[in-house]
Structure 1
Amino acid sequence: MRKQRVSWKHWLGSAVALGLLGGCSSLPRYGNPELPRTEQAPPLDYFSVAWWAPLVTPTLMEYAPREVATPAYDGLSNTVIALTRDGFIRGVGSDGQVKWSKKTSTRFAAGARVSDGVAFIPGGDGTLYALDAATGEEKWKYAAGESLATVPVVAEGLVLVASESDTLFAVKAADGVWAWQYRRDPPSGFSVRGASTPLVREGNVYVGFSDGYVVSLTMRDGSANWEKSLSGSGNEFLDVDSTPVMDEHGQLYVASYKSGIYALEAESGDLVWTSSVGGMTALLSKGKMLFAVGDGRVDAYLAEDGRLLWTHPLGERAAQAPVFAKGMLIVPIQRSLLFLDPKTGQARVSWNPGDGVSATPFVAGSKLFVLSNNGWLYALDFNGLKG
């Protein structure tokens, strides 16, 4: 297929009623670009599609395909790094053409991280790969021996990545040599699928675990500064799988799936406030606001005291981690990509590029890279949205 820049007015479908989106009956929703469309585009031209690339070949009898790995972007070589359910790592150029690919033995649970031209890949096969983002050449690999489940974090010369078995690994970014690791025993009962991506601030690491604990570790050697239980007693769905976030004042926010959202003093772990809304799986801090997504809803809170500002019902069991771009809160809700006004929670547009979107998009300046559940990679250009 020849890749080209395509405007909404050339192919996007018309607005349709979305009864599941909390009463947003006139919300525009768009479909797959390869399908013929005859309807008029909406009056609000939010973004256009620069290019799209079909990466995964559909298999017979595949039911409800899902891609969960967030794309990454290397600005040095203008390469998008896409990890897909067929076990491939691909480098896609600025024209939508695949520049290189590498096969691994199984699907991915999380996306890559690019730093200084190197793509760090969390393998579902238990291997952390370091590849040249421009060429795909392997620089090193580290055998963790446990399926890796978070986007790697690169800081202070180390790469941090967590496994599905509640181990946080730290290896040297230069050569992949093991530096330290921290492990907690998973609970005996049911847990939510996923893991907490670590947050690094001022020489400390903050990360959650499936036993309901959030911990602060020293970046130097992984020793614990403090450990705090958020989920209370029991042994099921205690998970603190959300990536911790920190505001400009140094206050830490984490979410327990069972017990709700917690604001903590980062230095001590002492409680500042808590919200009893359970089922939350991801947080995002922006200015004085804290956004939370989870089972069937998106919430906005005042970060200072946890006051609920608005809530937006989704009609989906769970949403994935949101991103903030050009003044809009963008949330993948499995069946589509939802654009919300962060001040009011009002939905502006819903975009379904085919089989929905589960992976968190990647924002790079005025572009948004989206991996759809059918394995298509899209590059969107923001048009009408202003920061």
Structure 2
Amino acid sequence: MSRGVSRRAAIATAAITVATSGCLRPELGEQNSSNGSEATEGNVSPTRADPPAVEEPWTFRAQAGMATPPTLAGESLFAGSVDDSLYALDAATGEQRWAFDVGDEPRLVHVAGEEVFVTSSRETYGLGVATGEERFHADVGVNLSRPIVTGDTLYLADDSTFYALDRRDGSERWSFRGKGTLGYGATERDGIIVTTDQGDVDRLPNDVSTVYGLDAESGEVLWETPIEDDALISEVAFGDGVATIAGRYGLVAGFDAETGEIVWEHAVEKGGNHPQTPIAARGRVYFTVGATTYALEQDTGAVVWEARGGGSDVRYRDGRIYVAPNGLTLLGYDADDGRKLFEQRLDPRMERRPPAISDSAIYYVDGAVQAVPRDNEVQAQ
């Protein structure tokens, strides 16, 4: 583990950004996990405050395409670019507030309080939300997972090791080495971290994956539960004491976070796809597989509803589940019964990365970052 102090300074707002209004084709302007920060329940960090209304569509272009989905936090929107920089934008106007050179392509972004954490292929940075000032960086490993933050500790995993870092300076508090490949993220609740080990990724299907419950303070293994005949590859959804994880071959399973006992298992018809990362909200688990969105009971795994239209990580906001099934349309379903309540066409170049959603706008990437007002949303019947 190595650390550097202010190795790279934040780059001031400059001509590398272009913010324009009216950039989308008019016919597509009508009517936004991680897991995005706009959700208010489950394993997704809450938005700190809604940004001011987006009055007109805007576009932000970096020196190269975008590498991460947008992350919304208060009045700022964060997105990493293939040009190796993390950008902080004014969520209402698209104006660049600051940029930070990560030194490699940014991978995942997490906002907690007044800090934004970003990972590259092997390093993680803690930056000030307002200015982009570097507070620490740590050279951790390769293929880092999304960071999670609890109190003054930052948790993340690389291909083989799970780390707990001091949030203030990036120093290592403890680490845990799995039996196979980690790196798909974790979640923490009530002092217990739930994370997964894919097993031997050179063998498909894997013989055994493992789910671990770790003590958040010490890294001690509290329990471990083997899963045969699937590779658990999603981030973890945590709700009501049950951790839910999805596998490459169609398994979705719930685990008692205190004991590791398998509470339920559900096999989905994957049709050549694998389940995307689930989220937990309102006592249920929501996820997509191919072109279908599912809602399961959190404590039993019973199917509550399924809807045609999936294809991306789900987003939850204000009683709705949002998915972007085909890069053309954003759909919103009633989280209780699966009725389609919202449909908005987007730019057909939209990449298959989950959008960020506020009360006033949808934020997504299509090489650039786009913001589209929700003023003209069409209510589905």
Q: What do residues 220-264 of structure 1 show as CA deviations (whole Å, max 9, x unaligned)?
A: 12111111122x14xxxx4322222232x3222222222511122
Does residue 66 of structure 2 align to residue 72 of structure 1? no
CA distance in 1, matches of 2:299, 2:126: 39
- Helix, strand or coil: the match of 1:371? strand
Q: Does 1:156 align with 2:148?
A: no
The answer (yes or no) to whether the contact 2:214–2:221 under 8 Å persists in 1 is: yes
State whether residues 54 and 361 of structure 2, in contact with CA within 8 Å, keep that contact through their aligned partners in structure 1: no
The runs of 4+ residues in structure 1 deviating greater than 6 Å are 382-386
1:174 correspondence with 2:173: no
Q: CA deviation digits over 1:124-170, x for unaligned, max 9?
A: 2x1111112221221111011313232x111031111222x143222
Distance 1:40 1:285, change over 3 A: closer
1:326 is the counterpart of 2:318: yes
Query: Residue 60 of structure 2 aligns with which residue?
Result: 54
Question: Distance in 1 between the 2:137 and 2:258 partners?
Answer: 34
| 1:204 equivalent in structure 2 | 192
Deviation (angstroms), 1:185: 4.1
Q: Secondary structure, in 3 states, of the residue corresponding to 2:278?
A: strand
Superposition pairs of residues 128-167 of structure 1, within 5 angstroms: 128-150=124-146, 152-163=147-158, 165-167=159-161
Gaps spanning 5+ residues in structure 2: where? 1-17, 32-52, 200-208
Rounded Cα–Cα distance in structure 2 between residues aligned with 1:256 and 1:345: 27
Equivalence for 1:275: 266
The 8 Å contact of residues 67 and 79 in structure 2, kept in 1 or not, is answered as no
Which of the residues 80, 101, 104 maps onto 2:102?
A: 104
* Deviation of the 1:36 alpha carbon: 4.7
How far off is 1:367 after superposition? 4.8
Q: Identify the residue that residue 253 of structure 2 maps to in structure 1.
A: 262
8 Å Cα contact 1:260/1:275 also seen in 2: yes
Alpha-carbon contact 2:24-2:347 (below 8 Å) kept = no
Letter aligned with residue 145 of structure 2: A
Q: 1:199-234 deviations in whole A, cap 9, x for unaligned?
A: 11011111123222221101112111111122x14x
Once the two structures are TM-superposed, the CA of residue 384 in structure 1 deviates from its matched residue by 6.5
Q: Which residue of 1 aligns with 2:342?
A: 348
Q: Which amino acid aligns with 2:366?
A: N
**Compared CA separation, residues 2 and 363, structure 1 to 2 (3 A):** closer
State how far apart, in whole Å, the 1-side matches of 2:168 and 2:30 are. 49
**Structure 2 equivalent of residue 245 of structure 1:** 237
Read off the aligned partner of 1:376 and give its amino acid letter.
Answer: V
Shift of 1:173: 0.5
Give unmatched runs, 5+ long, in structure 1.
7-32, 59-64, 188-193
Specify whether residues 56 and 334 from structure 1 end up closer, same or farther in structure 2 by C-alpha distance, changes over 3 A only: farther
Compared CA separation, residues 228 and 351, structure 1 to 2 (3 A) = farther
Are 2:30 and 2:345, in contact at CA under 8 Å, matched by a contact in 1? Answer: no
- Partner-residue secondary structure (3-state), 1:119: strand
> Given the alignment, which residue of 357, 370, 387 partners 2:363?
370
Alpha-carbon spacing, 1:371–1:86, altered in 2? closer, same or farther (3 Å): farther
What per-residue deviation string (whole Å, max 9, x for no partner) do you get for residues 310-344 of structure 1?
32344x7xx33211113321123462453232322
**Aligned partners of 2:194, 2:327: CA distance in 1, in Å?**
31
Q: 1:34 matched to which residue of 2?
A: 24
Which amino acid in 2 is paired with 1:35? R
Whole-angstrom CA distance in 2 between matches of 1:385 and 1:227: 47
Equivalent residue letter for 1:322: V
Distance in 1 between the 2:113 and 2:76 partners? 13
Q: Structure 1 vs Structure 2: percent identity of aligned residues?
A: 16
Q: Flag the 1:173–1:246 CA change in 2: closer, same or farther, 3 A.
A: same
1:308-319 map, 5 Å: 308-314=303-309, 319=311
- Helix, strand or coil for the counterpart of 1:282? coil
| Deviation by residue 1:85-135 (Cα, 9 ceiling, x = unmatched) | 33211111243111211233432332x2222321111112x1111112221
Match of residue 7 from structure 2: none
Hey, what does 1:83 align to over in structure 2? 80
Determine the C-alpha separation between the residues in 2 that align with 1:363 and 1:223: 38
Q: Is the 8 A contact 2:243 2:256 kept in 1?
A: yes
CA contact (8 A) 1:332 1:357 kept: no
The RMSD of aligned alpha carbons is 3.1
